[in-house]
Structure 1
């Protein structure tokens, strides 16, 4: 009979219960394992989550009011997974960062406006969709962009720098562009929007600095996969809240909703491709990261600050923009992997 390894009880010794075999996962580790699994299955979970939010209206309605806190949590988790040294390194390249921000916030809206006029979306019955497409292109990079970049193997640090700075700048760039190009008054109060940004960006930044100080860099690296999984689950939770009311509108006007989804995908992928081509001279990795930033815009801020008198179809389009946002990591990860291997 084989003896039990030294230090491992077979059970019954001094009335103690049998110890778990070494290969068993302790109960206390199960949440961590679940988060790590979520990180590995991130693209698939995001794809499932957006359709589950659409198919379960009561749950989407119940989670509508948690969107802002979840976005703040998401930003905190994203900040914990970014290397501060690399972020500082990018800030030491101000010309490249300035060029990326100028492209995201100024050039992309002009390109979207030209495309809307060329395709007839800026006129007639399609005018609300054309206007929504242009406003979408004025938006800042999505808060989740650094997490999505990590999911598909791209640069999370430049994604974080661009997402943070574009979020801070969008109150000063979006209203003039919307007024000048479309004649729309977005009623974007700089004071109220900056107050919201203080919640969504400032508080998570402070929280992440405190956590980083208390936990230490070594522990944060060890927790990395679990934090990535928490990011994925936070984005899925956000997606449920944003989908509130979309199913009812799909049933009431399926043609407009399906056309809006197609336009959202076309706008997202076109911005992604054009941005990647524009920044290809700076290197393939940076160009692909910039493209992902450009294609995934933060519509949550607009949904939060636009007045109730805003054209309903514009607000609906912003909700439909979540489909390419959630599905792009799942759809594009094989493409990015192939391009990076070739590079």
Structure 2
């Protein structure tokens, strides 16, 4: 049963849910147009991201969590390839090319990140299997404190001792937010109604749009000072997102299986929760990467529009 103190908030939250993706578009626009506000919101990224993780886990059906555990043999190897094998491969490639700096680091961190919290919804909008994306989200988020240790080491060129604090922060955020959500779901929201679910969707939309505002603070200044440079970064972000989806879909096709499940795995490969690293790393490590982080949000929201026909064609 929903606590009485929360009930007055349900109607506004349901209205926010009806706004759907438009709330995220509004967040993008506000963040770009008002960089001062975006910088202020960025200071609150830790509670925002913890809140998003809390709502995402609270939204999960217990059956979905049980299903994820039941598919461990299938899903965990995929997560290890995506969040450990892929970033280490990027790190080796960049080392061989003698390329370093903030963009090399942020690319390693991007492919080391867990799937985005809204991956299941994004998969459904793209005509793919939301359940597969949901299971990979569960395992990817649970394993991120472990799988991130080596990628963080190579991305930030820190000593091994300097990596334990960010890894511990990730573990703490995942454990506290996810554990609190599971407790609330069990004791207070065991059987949510459709209206309750819509309210949770609205809360998630509000938190996501606020987070997006905080990720866009570097976009307008670069748009004014170096528009060609911003275009290059935006092109790189789109190439990483869509490129990983294309590569994943093509590599998985020979393995067979249902096309919508393969497509969901490929979609997850390209759409990662890079923002989670922002709350674990010191600001000095991420400041130079924020233009890419902001640009990377845009192809996420374009995925259903741009990639749906590709996945249908690949079948």
TM range (shorter): 0.7 to 0.9
Unaligned stretches of 5+ residues in structure 2: 1-7
Of structures 1 and 2, the one with the larger relative CO (CA 8 A, separation 6+) is: 2
What corresponds to 2:276 in structure 1?
301
Q: What CA deviation, in whole Å up to 9, does each residue of 1:163-183 have, x standing for no partner?
A: 343234334434424655x78
Residues 217-228 of structure 1 aligned to structure 2 (within 5 Å):
217=191, 219-228=192-201
- Structure 1 residue 37 corresponds to structure 2 residue 18: yes
What corresponds to 1:162 in structure 2?
136
CA distance in 2, matches of 1:133, 1:260: 11
SS at match of 2:43: helix
What corresponds to 2:289 in structure 1?
314
Q: Radius of gyration: which is bigger?
A: 1
Counterpart selection for 1:247 from 220, 230, 246: 220
What corresponds to 1:69 in structure 2?
47
TM superposition shift of 1:239: 0.2
Q: What CA deviation, in whole Å up to 9, does each residue of 1:261-286 have, x standing for no partner?
A: 11011001111122233344232222
What corresponds to 1:21 in structure 2?
none
TM superposition shift of 1:207: 2.9
SS at match of 2:234: helix
What corresponds to 2:204 in structure 1?
231
CA distance in 2, matches of 1:90, 1:234: 25
TM superposition shift of 1:156: 4.0
Residues 272-287 of structure 1 aligned to structure 2 (within 5 Å):
272-280=245-253, 281-287=256-262
- Structure 1 residue 206 corresponds to structure 2 residue 180: yes
Residues 72-151 of structure 1 aligned to structure 2 (within 5 Å):
72-109=50-87, 112=90, 123=99, 128-151=102-125
- Structure 1 residue 259 corresponds to structure 2 residue 240: no
1:142–1:296: 8 Å Cα contact kept in structure 2?
A: yes
SS at match of 1:142: coil
TM superposition shift of 1:295: 0.9
Query: What is the TM-score normalised by the length of structure 1?
Result: 0.73
2:33–2:220: 8 Å Cα contact kept in structure 1?
A: yes
CA distance in 2, matches of 1:179, 1:54: 32
Q: What CA deviation, in whole Å up to 9, does each residue of 1:207-230 have, x standing for no partner?
A: 34324532332x334432332233
2:148–2:167: 8 Å Cα contact kept in structure 1?
A: no
2:242–2:270: 8 Å Cα contact kept in structure 1?
A: yes
CA distance in 2, matches of 1:87, 1:279: 25
TM superposition shift of 1:45: 3.5
1:303–1:318: 8 Å Cα contact kept in structure 2?
A: no
CA RMSD, 1 decimal: 3.5
- Residues 69 and 253 of structure 1: is their aligned pair in 2 closer, same or farther, counting only changes over 3 Å? same
What corresponds to 1:290 in structure 2?
265
- Residues 157 and 78 of structure 1: is their aligned pair in 2 closer, same or farther, counting only changes over 3 Å? farther
SS at match of 1:223: helix
1:147–1:228: 8 Å Cα contact kept in structure 2?
A: no
TM superposition shift of 1:101: 0.9
Unaligned stretches of 5+ residues in structure 1: 1-26
Q: What CA deviation, in whole Å up to 9, does each residue of 1:293-319 have, x standing for no partner?
A: 111122223333334554854343233
1:74–1:231: 8 Å Cα contact kept in structure 2?
A: yes
CA distance in 1, matches of 2:9, 2:295: 39
CA distance in 1, matches of 2:174, 2:108: 24
